Structure 1
Amino acid sequence: MRTTALGLTLLLTSMHAAEPQAENWLSHLKIAPPLKVPTDLAAWQKQRAAIRTQLNELLGDLPPRPPVSAFQIIAKEDKGSYTQETLQFDNGAGEIVKGYLFLPKSATPQSKAPAILYCHWHGGQYDIGKSELLQTNATPVAAGPALAEAGYVVLGIDASCFGERNGKGPDGPQQKGGAGEMTAAKFHLWAGRTLWGMIIRDDLTALDYLCSRPEVDAQRIGVTGISMGSTRSWWIMALDDRPRAAVCVACMTHYEELIRAGMLKAHGIYYFVPGMLKHFDTEAVIALAAPRPMLFMTGDQDGGSPIDGVKHLGQIVEQIYALHGDEAKPSFENSIYPGVGHVYLPEMWEKTLKWMERWVKGG
């Protein structure tokens, strides 16, 4: 087949237009270098404190979290081996937040049980939220009943713009779904804070309540989720020392690699924290969990977590864990699944249960 000069020009122009422009953008941006791993644990502890302080500042001027007395139990259902409670609390920022708590009947103030804070995903499924605990839209099994039957007290809340909070943003029911999420993000930026900071703030409020339940052993709490729920989990681990362990499925994302891969589109507006890359990339956030057990499970075909970035993160975080010596072995695991995309496989669920059994229930 003959290619005319005009045809060749159009082809080359089309190829050029399709090329990612990330390098051009990055070349004009001064971003932080990879996290420098110190030579000793004492130096890391000092650096860790500084990173946590910086993260809290980047999230913005968040209002104080409401007290646990703000929580109300508004419904209870007997499910046989466990009770399902519906909770709500006024988050002190204009919204009533609802959640589900699954309470095994074996958990009592005299026989305290381990607990799981479950963080639901995004997936564009704004109507679901906390109801993910009762469904298989994101997980191979309904996580709430499954974890309760395994002996855990389980709590999950609607994140901002999800579940019963869909259409409850500043524009009300006229803005639902992605439009409502964008409206909430704009509002919070005007208030000097981030949507992501408010999401994590509500999660930490839920953690406050979970720790306060008389049936819960507050020294044995894990946190988990897939996708946005995964990201919520590793940020919670970064900002709060109370969770004992975490399992994070998907969304182990190195931000610079995400830019280079041309995949910023893989994450919603909720995900972005102004100024992050001026200070550090996500290895600094994930590393704050050390030496507490962390399991990451990521498919190598997951566009929202470019695999080179996943490997890069794992290499640096492993060095931070190594500073803790035997205390942290083998409590960090970065599992990569060949040929797998943005999904939660049954084998991943089984691994989640074993991880929690070892590090939360058995700890």
Structure 2
Amino acid sequence: MACSSSYLLEPLSHVRALSHLRQTCGKSVSTHPPIFSLLPHNSTIIAISNSTSKYRFIHQVICSRAESTHFTESSEKKKKMEETPFNPDKRRADFLHLLRSRRSSEVPLTVELAKPVTNPMYQQSPPPTFSEAMESCPKADIENLEDLLVEENLYLYTEASDQGRLPVLILSMKQSGCVSKRPAIVFLHSTHKCKEWLRPLLEAYASRGYIAVAIDSRYHGERADSLTTYREALVSSWKKGDTMPFIFDTVWDLIKLADYLSNQRDDIDYARIGITGESLGGMHAWFAAFADTRYAVVAPIIGVQGFRWAIDNDKWQGRVDSIKAVFEEARVDLGKSVIDKEVVEKVWDRIAPGLASEFDAPYTIPTIAPRPMLILNGADDPRCPLAGLDTPKLRAQKAYEAYHHSDNFKLLAEPGIGHRMTPYMVKEASEWFDKFL
């Protein structure tokens, strides 16, 4: 399907397709290479306006290639990946290389004491006030529990950037006498929430002897300064291509958090660190366990999905609607009248490279074997379509069987439930950690 559209080009030093433009237009052109990557490969640029001090505009782009060609290439890439031998270490190394490629500079992990947050930042209005699911979490029957809880507020510095300060909240029970090593569990919040939202879970797990840890993910909580911080970060990632605010940058923080929990805590058994989260937090838990084997037990809740499957089967709308602003921005930049599967794929490739290809669920979930993994989803969740997990589930089962630990993997889909964490899911996750940690 042919199309015509307008594109805004921002200046950067590195120029992609510059020689083609000069040959076509006979002018000196300063361009933004990531925006050029949005154009179909054999587009013909027929006119460029006079430049202003900051921008140039392409007035018209004629796309001579059909949309279907793009997806033929995607199918060929998928087929090639299917034929590649399963190599968890190589997959993990490739992902870590991607994470490091977006760091401005790595810094030594440093720890700083922080104060409790008195007015948590929620990027939704009105802010949430109660979660039946979290309040249902099994808790030890301790009469004066609040008096026996120890609260720690910390900042970890994970990289040299504006988002390099990682806020951490830790709850545990007071110990008398010698300090004993205990298991720890990391809890991750959903979109627009923050670590303080997770307090009911932290208190419940701490009452049962765990060291309960929560963080603010990128552009959330203490790392946000307005109701639109996360949305703006996603759009900026699409425009500039220099950050990965959707999932991946927070995974970097979780690797650094594992460094801290494993190496700088006398009260944590580094071989018994679990991780869980809800929705976006479930995705963070999934990818952190993929990237870092120190997360010994994992239980993502309403977070695991097949991104490629959703594109191929036209089931991407639920996930897209959860962060729609970036897709609307991409739609405009791509000259589309509506968000379609091409827009969706280009956004994923841009803000989370490999999310719908080599780092998708069929290729990363199996790498977690043989560590215990419980996936908890709603059977009717439009953001995490159950059919999209058929292949990841089968591959994971084979991987766990190869290690002779079939019982270490389970996928539970609660009937009649959409994109919602339920008391049942909280109970199952709790029992999973009690069993394996």
Asked if Structure 1 and Structure 2 have the same fold, meaning a TM-score greater than 0.5 normalized by the shorter chain, the answer is yes
Matched, 1:49 2:125: no
Which of 100, 105, 108 is matched with 2:174 structurally?
A: 105
- Tell me: CA distance 1:90–1:280, structure 2 relative to 1, closer, same or farther (3 Å): closer
Q: Tell me, what secondary structure is at the counterpart of 2:161?
A: coil
Q: Which structure 2 residues correspond to residues 49-68 of structure 1 after superposition, within 5 A?
A: 49-59=89-99, 60-63=101-104, 66-68=107-109
Matched, 1:337 2:414: yes
Which of 280, 289, 308 is matched with 2:368 structurally?
A: 289
CA contact (8 A) 2:216 2:223 kept: yes
- Tell me: CA distance 1:308–1:215, structure 2 relative to 1, closer, same or farther (3 Å): same
Q: Give the aligned partner of residue 194 of structure 1.
A: 244
Aligned length: 313
Which of 257, 262, 267 is matched with 2:316 structurally?
A: 262
Matched, 1:224 2:276: yes
- Ranked by relative contact order (alpha carbons within 8 Å, sequence separation 6 or more), the top structure is 1
Which of 71, 82, 96 is matched with 2:149 structurally?
A: 82
Q: Which structure 2 residues correspond to residues 157-172 of structure 1 after superposition, within 5 A?
A: 157-167=215-225
CA RMSD of superposed structures (Å)? 3.0
Which of 110, 114, 119 is matched with 1:69 structurally?
A: 110
Q: Give me the whole-angstrom Cα distance separating, in 2, the residues matched to 1:70 and 1:351.
A: 34
Gaps of 5+ in 2: 1-66, 119-144, 327-346
Larger radius of gyration: 2
CA contact (8 A) 1:65 1:201 kept: no
Q: Give the CA deviation at 1:37.
A: 9.4
- Tell me: CA distance 1:54–1:25, structure 2 relative to 1, closer, same or farther (3 Å): same
Q: Give the aligned partner of residue 206 of structure 2.
A: 148
- Tell me: CA distance 1:344–1:197, structure 2 relative to 1, closer, same or farther (3 Å): closer
Q: Tell me, what secondary structure is at the counterpart of 1:179?
A: helix
Q: Give the CA deviation at 1:79.
A: 3.1
Q: Tell me, what secondary structure is at the counterpart of 1:257?
A: helix
Q: Please tell me the residue identity of whatever aligns with 2:248.
A: G
CA contact (8 A) 1:109 1:214 kept: no
CA contact (8 A) 2:308 2:357 kept: no
Q: Give the CA deviation at 1:70.
A: 2.9
Q: Give me the whole-angstrom Cα distance separating, in 1, the residues matched to 2:89 and 2:240.
A: 26
- Tell me: CA distance 1:35–1:25, structure 2 relative to 1, closer, same or farther (3 Å): closer
Q: Tell me, what secondary structure is at the counterpart of 1:117?
A: strand
CA contact (8 A) 2:185 2:211 kept: yes
Q: Give the CA deviation at 1:71.
A: 3.5
CA contact (8 A) 2:172 2:206 kept: yes
Matched, 1:356 2:433: yes
Q: Give me the whole-angstrom Cα distance separating, in 2, the residues matched to 1:275 and 1:153.
A: 33
Q: Tell me, what secondary structure is at the counterpart of 1:210?
A: helix
Identity of aligned residues (%): 21
Q: Give me the whole-angstrom Cα distance separating, in 1, the residues matched to 2:307 and 2:220.
A: 24
CA contact (8 A) 1:62 1:197 kept: no
CA contact (8 A) 2:188 2:284 kept: yes
Q: Give the aligned partner of residue 307 of structure 1.
A: 386
Q: Give me the whole-angstrom Cα distance separating, in 2, the residues matched to 1:228 and 1:34.
A: 29
TM norm structure 1: 0.77
Matched, 1:204 2:272: no
Q: Which structure 2 residues correspond to residues 269-288 of structure 1 after superposition, within 5 A?
A: 272-279=351-358, 281-288=360-367
Q: Give me the whole-angstrom Cα distance separating, in 2, the residues matched to 1:215 and 1:130.
A: 21
Q: Give me the whole-angstrom Cα distance separating, in 1, the residues matched to 2:168 and 2:359.
A: 33
Q: Give the CA deviation at 1:231.
A: 0.7
Q: Give the CA deviation at 1:267.
A: 4.9
Q: Give me the whole-angstrom Cα distance separating, in 2, the residues matched to 1:319 and 1:56.
A: 25
